[in-house]
Chain A
Amino acid sequence: MKILIKNGRLIDPKHHLDATQDIYIAAGKIVGIGSGPAGFEPTQTLDATGLLVVPGLVDLSARLREPGFEHKATLESEMLAAVAGGVTSLACPPDTDPVLDEPGLVEMLKHKAKQLHLAHVYPLGAITRQLQGKQLTEMSELTEAGCVGFSQADVAITDTQVLWRAMQYAATFGYTIWLRPEEPYLASGGTAHDGEVASRLGLKGIPAAAETLAIASILTIARETGASVHLCRLSTAEGVAMVRAAKQQGLPVTCDVSINHLHLTEHDIGFFDPNCHLRPPLRGQRDRDALSQGVIDGTIDAICSDHTPVDDDAKLQPFGEAEAGATGLELLLPLVCKWADAQKIPLTQALAAVTSKAAAILAIPAGDLLLHADADLCLLDPHEEWKVQANALQSQGKNTPFLGMHLRGKVRYTLVSGQLVYQAA
């Protein structure tokens, strides 16, 4: 397949590229930017006039629900959602059923994903067997099978001794430990941020201290063991400040934030909208502002979708009983554009958080438009408006707090390894 993409505005944050140029693709790679190889005869030409051509997005957290939760979503439906959202590489957490704690399961998942010829899947292996927080998994074997890091998804390790040893073991091999910082006892039974909205609505709150206490523990152990840590889904202003201080001290810590937390606060719960039941919970305006500032000044390395498709039966419940999570692969790119607009920062800077900087955390060669790199890219119409509604989403999960909203920014084409894997209707 030889593809010529004509006249698009190429944006590559890593290489400070922002120019209207043609881009040439052959044998799955980028073979020319601006000008093509001699005698290049395209089998397909895409007219990208008025469109942005960006590296395919790298999403640090997308639940694909296979194996085990096929009634919520399938690999196929969610991978289609990914490419419909311009996401060409994604990491998935290990909380499948069975848990991704065996090399065989990881290989099978990678194999199934590869067969679909859609986005690249980078599984995170479990830190402990069955995520139970007691015994370590075979991190070396799992890495060979394809894991890019180790995570506990939403299940905290309560035994600090186990956490310490897990981080020591990972440090032995230079593996990265991914943890969502939440102190389990303070968070127990909580469903919303412990603030004025939860007080008014009578919801059990999760205090900000649940996150900051956990960050303090994790960073202390990281300092002592030398482990590399990636903190997932920051949600508090204090949390951002703690990471900023740790980075200033040279600690090898990175972190991400969910795009939902850059837009929404506890007030968006309104009259108990279960689509706003998220983990971590949506917090106050001060927290949201600090998270935005954290992305802008680089304290927060990447923005992810935290894509979590939930079936209707599990969502249409009273708030506290509704399963937490929001679908979001297809909304990540337009929501990043909207955020950049609101923060008045250049789109290039914002896009880095979902391309090159996210790729750096996974240590994968993705997230840029480089000569000879894999041709993973997405063509976006930045002006086209569309309404977020169930029939507009490819994902099996229709649970998004942005339901009913109009967003600007529609993916027109997505290419993975030089193949056109998505084309808007």
Chain B
Amino acid sequence: MLNPQLTPDGKLRHLLSTEGLPRAILNQILDTAESFVGVAEREVKKVPLLRGKTVCNIFFENSTRTRTTFEIAAKRLSADVINLNVNTSSQSKGETILDTIDNLTAMHADMFVIRHAQSGAAHLIAQHVAPHIHVINAGDGRHAHPTQGLLDVFTIRRYKPDMHNLRVALVGDVLHSRVARSEIHALTTLGVPEVRVIAPKTLLPQHVEKLGVQVYHDMREGLKDVDVIMMLRLQNERMSGALLPSAQEYFKCYGLTPEKLALAKPDAIVMHPGPMNRGVEIDSAVADGKQSVILPQVTYGIAVRMAVMSMLAGNSA
């Protein structure tokens, strides 16, 4: 089956998932992002690469944070940006997704950034857009959030350049997390030798080991000698769905406290895709502590998204 993200000659046409992304392209995105970090530190933070191009943020699922970072990234590439929040709840017999896409194509959009509550939405759209349009998946259901996975891996690479010698632990709700899936695929593609997931059984997908990870239910065991700790966000709904009894018990067993952090390597870094639930996944002392790289993650997010957009736009050639 042809990977729909790539052109027949192996160039990036869409960014839908970190799974199936060749290592060379992954590295190219990270290296290009490196250059954009420098741009962000200048007075004029813009470059003219996407001048005259229109980027459409089509968010079927709301998220001001993610939409804003994509908007900033697009504007720093000198693109024009259109934001569309499609309120699906008010539609019973409304416009289908593909009709929405067709209408935007007619308005000469060049790139779509899609967020949707259903897994596979970005793939569906990518299969139907006109040949010159690129699709970036900004999060589809539980399936993938590739730019987040990429910026997380970029962050790790910045602090721990030797990826071939790392132990990385993901902690929390892997079952529902598109971020976790994207991170796992990116890490394994880049050759990180040990990727661990730490969670109660109710929050792990069936056959999760097939993704190439080691499973731990005991957080203290799982954090031993780890170089990177990636915390995952816990949604409130998990308590009402009989997946977990309470936020307090979750914090007791799976929350990252300074005491548990001490079990990892002394120079281990702590990451979180945001927004954080302080006192649920992570103790404030850790979130604000010197091992936390949570704020730099946000900065790198813009550089990584600029890298992805410019690579895609350059592949229209």
Contact = CB atoms under 8 A, between A and B. Distances in A.
Contact of A202 (B119, B124, B210): B119
Given A271-B4, A318-B124, A201 B143 contact: yes
A320 B120 contact: yes
Given A316-B124, A318-B124, A319-B118, A199 B140 contact: no
Contacts of A204: 142
Contacts of B181: 200, 202
Contact of A271 (B118, B123, B141): B123
Contacts of A70: none
Interface string A272-296: 1010000000000000000000000
A321 interface: yes
Interface string A318-352: 11110000000000000000000000000000000
Contacts of A198: 205-206
Contacts of B167: none
Contacts of A202: 119, 140-144, 178, 181
Interface string A196-217: 1011111111010000000000
A270 interface: yes
Nearest to B184: A200
Interface in A238-283: 270-272, 274
A194 interface: yes
A195 B206 contact: yes
Contact of B120 (A199, A207, A272, A313): A272
How many chain B residues sit at the interface, stated as a range, is: 20 to 34
Interface in A168-207: 194-196, 198-205, 207
B177 to A, nearest CB: 9
A320 B142 CA distance: 11
A373 B127 CA distance: 51
B119 A317 contact: no
B126 to A, nearest CB: 9
B141 to A, nearest CB: 5
A269 to B, nearest CB: 9
Contacts of B119: 201-203, 272, 318-320
A236 B141 CA distance: 27
Interface residues of A, number: 23
Interface in B102-121: 116, 118-121
Nearest to A193: B206
Interface string B131-155: 0000000001111100000000000
A196 B140 CA distance: 18
B124 A196 contact: no
B211 interface: yes
Contacts of A274: 124
B208 A199 contact: yes
Nearest to B122: A318
Nearest to B205: A199
Nearest to A320: B118
B207 A199 contact: yes
B183 to A, nearest CB: 13
Contacts of A321: 118
Contacts of B178: 202
Contacts of A319: 118-120, 124
A271 B135 CA distance: 15
Given A202-B181, A316-B124, A270 B1 contact: yes
A319 B97 CA distance: 12
Interface in A56-88: none
Nearest to A199: B205
Contacts of A313: 96
A86 B12 CA distance: 46
B120 A205 contact: no
B19 A205 contact: no
Nearest to B181: A202
Contacts of A317: 96-97, 118, 124
Contacts of B142: 202-204
Nearest to B125: A318
Contacts of B121: 318
Contacts of B144: 202
Contacts of B141: 202-203, 318, 320
A17 B141 CA distance: 55
A270 B143 CA distance: 13
Contact of B206 (A199, A271, A316): A199
Contacts of A205: 205-206
B98 interface: yes
Interface string A356-375: 00000000000000000000
Contacts of B207: 195-196, 199
Contacts of B211: 199-200
A140 B128 CA distance: 51
Interface string B1-32: 10010000000000000010000000000000
A195 B143 CA distance: 14
Contacts of A194: 206
For the complex of A and B, 8 pairs with smallest distance between CB atoms: A272-B120, A202-B142, A202-B143, A318-B118, A199-B205, A318-B121, A196-B207, A202-B119
19 contacts: A194-B206, A196-B210, A200-B19, A200-B181, A202-B142, A202-B181, A203-B142, A205-B205, A207-B206, A271-B120, A271-B123, A271-B127, A272-B123, A313-B96, A316-B98, A317-B97, A318-B97, A318-B121, A318-B141
Interface of A: 194-196, 198-205, 207, 270-272, 274, 313, 316-321
Given A195-B206, A198-B205, A320-B141, 19 more contacts: A194-B206, A198-B206, A199-B205, A199-B206, A199-B207, A199-B208, A199-B211, A201-B119, A201-B120, A202-B140, A203-B120, A203-B142, A204-B142, A270-B1, A271-B4, A318-B121, A318-B141, A319-B120, A320-B118
